[in-house]
């Protein structure tokens, strides 16, 4: 897999970012918080959303102020180009592949379909464990032997073998379960042949009984049909007689009810006439009291309104008078504040003049403090004295001269080696020709004798031996020179740091010289006085502002007093009008009105008692008319019911003469007996036929079961063979996993040793990796002895963790084409970061594409392509950096 392009929109701090990736080492660099690691998160989200990564949620990825989070990843795998797009906010996604002429959809356009497709192409666990080295993974390696073992299992893919080992156990258990089930089945079906013979005998008996019973049923059916016809005739006559009897009884009841209702209606009409006469007297009394009741209501309403409005307005008037009094008191207080304001303004002018005089000294003190802080910072960064720097510079100059000498000598060695190899080829070719030659010698042209042949071959072989010895000596000298060259390179790598240290010394001297021109103690006193005056002036200005604000309130208070006075006048006018209205009603005070209301109250209460009398009179009159009409209808119904009753009684007498209950009962008994006998015969026949069918079906199943039993016996033998094969395969998987882990850890240990030696300047001569049950122990070789992690310093522990994790990925370099490193340099010191550059150049180039995210500028020296991320106005901006800049 190789990443070609990443396009991110409204993701965290990225508004619209496009990043192109090439083969080789791609470095994404920027300060912390600039948004560089967000690009890796966007890559994970783009490839595996929504189920992975689990620690990211939709609401966390949308940029503040953004509208829609979108991610597009272009990548190549196994020679095919792919494009994967997701709109996280809208829940949309698609995956496409390029067929050489156009882009075509690889799966359905949904988040789940695209996620499942990507999991099949590159599983998430493979991507996260083999391809992507996260920030916290180095710490996990160092945390414990158990956590280190977990990382190794994930990266090397050992879990799939462990899963296979466990799954094969489950397969074996399933096979054993099926063997047990099959054996139980065969044991339970041993007597099948005996059951089949018994079933065939039962079938023969059932067929014989069916043939004897079948002719009897039609005879019984014909006899039952004649009895049933006669029974139906008698049933119909009985039903008709019963119906007439019921109707006669019902009509007799109806006639009695109508006679009772007639008496009741005549009684209710007499009572209604008496009630109507009483209601007529109540209506006349109600009309006489109507005028007094209306006067009572009018006076009562006026009194309620008069009392409510007077009480409310008198309360408002009292409130307005209190407000006016308070306002006048406040205005008197504000007149005193004007004198205070003039005094504060004079004091402020005095402090401003003093502050202006101290301002220059305060600025000078701040400048001196800034220079002192810079000087302190530079001194902390300084690690060497000027004498040490000059000494190291001399060493570096000597190293440069010696490097040139070594390079010249190596060139001479290469030339000399080439001449010796050419001579060796010539002598070997001559020996081959001599061995084949006949007649004349191919070397000197003389007659070739066997003695002469042997002499020349011996001579050339001696020369080849001398050439071989010379080549060995040249190789040994080259190894010595290259070993010396490695040490010289270590010295030359310090040149950049020495230049920085020299620049620091020059800056320190310049700052010390500038600080001599300041009297820091005097300036400090002036600065403190300046701050004191500044605080006092700030307090005074605050008091001035509050005093002015208070004086501004005077105008508002005068306006409020005028408005409140006008409101009071209106309230008093309303109270006067209420008293005038009382007099217009004919009362000089409220007490007279109360006396009048007490006088009218009894008439009003009687009026209320009689207010429904008119409606009751009309209702009673209407009810009486209705009762009279109902009386006439009942008389008419009673006559009709009497005539109908006589007709039904005559008809019933005729039907009873035609019916005999004794004959009816005999016919019913004969019908029941025949029907019961017929039903028994039919039930017996059905039972026999059902038994026949069941026996035939059971017989068929038993014969099929007999054939199935033969197949099960064969299947049992195959299952036993399969169980043995699964157990054998399970053992092979266990042995292969152990061999793979042992071999992989040995190779990883070799690679980690090389990297760790370089990171620690060859202080340690190797790394030991030992696998135990659920543990992987790490150690180092120091002075020929193995040491534990507790022997290492903090920086060395980090270097070892980084070396071990890089070794895991480099072990897989032949299987993976992409490696992603997220911040590989945290906690590494300057020297180890510089060494990491060399390691990346030598080792990581074995992997076709590497993407590194870091804030360390030094890693640019190892990169083929540099992408810088910065934060501008809260938005991440991505720019490509030219190498060497």
Which run of H or E residues covers position 765? none
Give the integer Cα–Cα distance in Å for 483 and 422.
Answer: 27
Residue pLDDT, tens place only, 206-251? 888 888 888 888 888 888 888 888 888 888 888 888 888 888 888 8
Q: Are 238 and 664 in contact (CB under 8 A)?
A: yes
Give the integer Cα–Cα distance in Å for 862 and 852.
Answer: 11
Give the integer Cα–Cα distance in Å for 637 and 267.
Answer: 19
Give the integer Cα–Cα distance in Å for 158 and 125.
Answer: 12
| Those residues with Cβ within 8 angstroms of residue 58's Cβ, 6 or more apart along the chain or in another chain | 50, 69, 88, 89
Name the pairing type of β-strands 766-772 and 132-133.
Answer: unpaired
pLDDT score of 752: 80
pLDDT score of 885: 46
Contacts of residues 594-599 at CB distance under 8 Å and 24 or more positions apart, as own/partner, are: 594/303, 596/299, 597/296, 597/299, 597/300, 597/303
pLDDT score of 813: 62
pLDDT score of 522: 81
Question: What angle in degrees, to the nearest 10, is found between the helix axes of 520-584 and 216-381?
Answer: 130
User: Angle at Cα 639 formed by Cα 634 and Cα 644, nearest 5°?
Assistant: 120
| Euclidean distance between the first and the last CA atom of the chain, given in angstroms as a whole number | 30
20 is in an annotated binding site: no
34 is in an annotated binding site: yes
Torsion of CA 496, 23, 819, 40, to 10 degrees: 90
pLDDT score of 140: 64
Alpha carbons within 13 angstroms on the beta-carbon side of residue 564 total 19
684 is in an annotated binding site: no
Residue pLDDT, tens place only, 700-725? 888 888 888 888 888 888 888 888 88
Q: Of 762, 685, 880, 667, whose CA–CA distance to 29 is shortest? A: 880
38 is in an annotated binding site: yes
Most distant CA atoms of the chain, gap in Å = 180
795 is in an annotated binding site: yes
36 is in an annotated binding site: yes
Question: What are the two backbone dihedrals, phi and then psi, of residue 768, each rounded to the nearest 5 degrees?
Answer: -105, 135
| Those residues with Cβ within 8 angstroms of residue 322's Cβ, 6 or more apart along the chain or in another chain | none
Q: Where are the alpha helices (DSSP H) in 760-821?
A: 794-811
104 is in an annotated binding site: no
Name the pairing type of β-strands 80-87 and 775-782.
Answer: unpaired
3-class secondary structure, 72: strand
Centre a 10 Å sphere on the Cβ of residue 140 and count the other Cβ atoms it contains: 15
Q: Are 341 and 548 in contact (CB under 8 A)?
A: yes
705 is in an annotated binding site: no
pLDDT score of 541: 81
Starting at the edge strand found earlier in the chain, the sheet holding 766-772 runs 766-772, 775-782, 785-787
32 is in an annotated binding site: yes
Instruction: Kindly state the DSSP code that residue 857 receives in the 8-state scheme.
Output: G
Domains and CATH numbers, the chain: 2-135+792-881 (3.40.50.300), 386-514 (1.10.287.510)
Q: Are 852 and 866 in contact (CB under 8 A)?
A: no
Centre a 10 Å sphere on the Cβ of residue 106 and count the other Cβ atoms it contains: 18
Distances from the Cα of 44 to the Cαs of 48, 53, 771, 806, in angstroms?
A: 6, 7, 32, 21
Q: Are 641 and 254 in contact (CB under 8 A)?
A: yes
Give the integer Cα–Cα distance in Å for 322 and 728.
Answer: 107
Instruction: Kindly state the DSSP code that residue 29 receives in the 8-state scheme.
Output: E
792 is in an annotated binding site: yes
Give the integer Cα–Cα distance in Å for 137 and 798.
Answer: 11
796 is in an annotated binding site: yes
Q: Are 847 and 857 in contact (CB under 8 A)?
A: no
pLDDT score of 137: 65
793 is in an annotated binding site: yes
Length of the chain: 885
Give the integer Cα–Cα distance in Å for 408 and 412.
Answer: 6
Alpha carbons within 13 angstroms on the beta-carbon side of residue 399 total 18
387 is in an annotated binding site: no
pLDDT under 50 in the chain at which residues?
A: 885
């Amino acid at each position: 897999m190789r990443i070609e392009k990443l396009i991110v929109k409204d993701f965290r701090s990225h508004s619209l970012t496009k990043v192109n990736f090439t083969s080789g080492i791609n470095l994404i660099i920027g300060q912390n918080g600039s948004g560089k690691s967000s690009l890796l998160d966007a890559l994970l989200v783009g490839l595996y959303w929504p189920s992975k990564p689990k620690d990211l949620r939709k609401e966390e990825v949308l940029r503040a102020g953004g509208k829609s989070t979108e991610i597009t990843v272009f990548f190549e795998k196994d020679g095919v180009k792919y494009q994967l797009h997701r709109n996280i906010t809208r829940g949309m996604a698609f995956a496409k592949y390029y067929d050489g002429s156009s882009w075509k959809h690889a799966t359905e356009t949904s988040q789940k379909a695209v996620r499942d497709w990507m999991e099949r192409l590159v599983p998430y666990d493979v991507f996260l464990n083999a391809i992507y080295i996260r920030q916290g993974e180095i710490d996990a390696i160092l945390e414990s032997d158990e956590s280190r073992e977990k990382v190794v299992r994930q990266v090397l893919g050992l879990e799939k073998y462990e899963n296979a080992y466990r799954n094969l156990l489950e397969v074996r258990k399933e096979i054993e379960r099926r063997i047990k089930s099959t054996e139980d089945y065969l044991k339970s079906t041993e007597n099948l042949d005996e059951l089949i013979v018994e079933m065939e005998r039962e079938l023969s008996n059932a067929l014989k009984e069916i043939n004897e019973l079948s002719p009897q049923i039609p005879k019984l059916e014909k006899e039952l049909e004649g009895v049933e016809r006669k029974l139906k005739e008698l049933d119909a006559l009985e039903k008709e007689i019963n119906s007439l009897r019921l109707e006669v009884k019902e009509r007799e009841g109806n006639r009695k009810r109508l006679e009772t209702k007639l008496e009741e209606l005549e009684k209710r009409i007499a009572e209604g006439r008496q009630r109507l006469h009483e209601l007529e007297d109540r209506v006349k009394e109600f009309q006489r009291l109507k005028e007094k009741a209306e006067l009572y209501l009018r006076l009562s309403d006026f009194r309620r309104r008069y009392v409510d409005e007077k009480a409310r307005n008198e309360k408002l008037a009292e409130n307005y008078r209190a407000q006016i009094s308070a306002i006048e008191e406040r205005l008197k207080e504000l007149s005193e504040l004007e004198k205070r304001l003039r005094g504060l303004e004079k004091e402020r002018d005095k402090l401003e003049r003093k502050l202006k005089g101290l301002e220059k000294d305060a600025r000078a003190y701040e400048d001196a403090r800034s220079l002192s802080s810079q000087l302190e910072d530079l001194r902390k960064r300084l690690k060497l004295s000027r004498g040490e720097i000059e000494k190291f510079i001399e060493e570096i100059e000597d190293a440069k001269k010696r490097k040139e000498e070594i390079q010249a000598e190596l060139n001479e060695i290469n030339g000399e080696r080439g001449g010796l190899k050419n001579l060796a080829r010539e002598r070997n070719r001559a020996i081959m020709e001599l061995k084949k030659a006949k007649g004349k010698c191919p070397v000197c042209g003389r007659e070739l004798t066997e003695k002469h042949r042997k002499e020349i071959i011996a001579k050339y072989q001696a020369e080849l031996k001398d050439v071989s010895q010379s080549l060995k000596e040249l190789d040994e000298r080259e190894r010595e020179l290259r070993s010396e060259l490695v040490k010289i390179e270590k010295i030359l790598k310090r040149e950049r740091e020495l230049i920085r240290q020299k620049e620091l010394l020059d800056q320190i001297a310049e700052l010390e010289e500038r600080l001599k021109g300041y009297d820091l103690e005097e300036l400090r006193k002036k600065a403190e006085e300046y701050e004191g005056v500044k605080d006092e002036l700030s307090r005074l200005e605050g008091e001035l502002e509050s005093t002015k604000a208070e004086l501004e309130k005077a105008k508002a208070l005068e306006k409020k007093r005028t408005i409140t006075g006008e409101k009071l006048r209106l309230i008093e006018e309303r109270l006067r009008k209420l008293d005038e209205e009382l007099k217009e009603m004919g009362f000089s005070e409220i007490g007279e009105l109360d006396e009048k209301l007490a006088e009218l109250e009894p008439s009003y209460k009687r009026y209320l008692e009689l207010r429904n009398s008119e409606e009751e009179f009309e209702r009673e009159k209407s009810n009486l008319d209705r009762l009279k009409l109902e009386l006439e209808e009942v008389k008419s119904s009673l006559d009709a019911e009497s005539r109908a009753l006589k007709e039904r009684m005559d008809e019933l007498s005729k039907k009873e003469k035609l019916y005999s209950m004794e004959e009816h009962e005999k016919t019913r008994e004969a019908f029941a007996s025949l029907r019961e006998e017929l039903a028994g015969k039919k039930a017996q026949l059905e039972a026999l036929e059902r038994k026949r069918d069941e026996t035939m079906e059971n017989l068929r199943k038993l014969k099929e079961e007999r054939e199935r039993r033969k197949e099960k016996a064969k299947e049992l033998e195959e299952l036993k063979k399969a169980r043995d094969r699964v157990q054998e395969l399970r053992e092979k998987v266990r042995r292969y996993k152990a061999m793979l882990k042992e071999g992989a850890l040995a190779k990883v240990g070799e690679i980690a040793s090389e990297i760790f030696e370089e990171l620690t300047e060859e202080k340690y001569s190797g790394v030991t990796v030992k696998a135990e049950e659920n543990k992987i122990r790490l150690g180092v070789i120091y002075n020929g002895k193995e040491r534990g992690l507790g022997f290492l310093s903090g920086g060395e522990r980090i270097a070892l963790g980084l070396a071990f994790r890089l070794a895991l990925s480099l072990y897989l370099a032949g299987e993976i084409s992409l490696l992603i490193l997220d911040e590989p340099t945290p906690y590494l010191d300057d020297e180890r970061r510089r060494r990491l550059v060399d390691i990346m150049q030598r080792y990581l180039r074995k992997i076709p594409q590497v993407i590194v995210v870091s804030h360390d500028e030094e890693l640019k020296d190892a990169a083929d392509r540099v992408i810088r991320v910065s934060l501008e106005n809260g938005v991440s901006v991505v720019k490509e950096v030219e190498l060497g800049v």
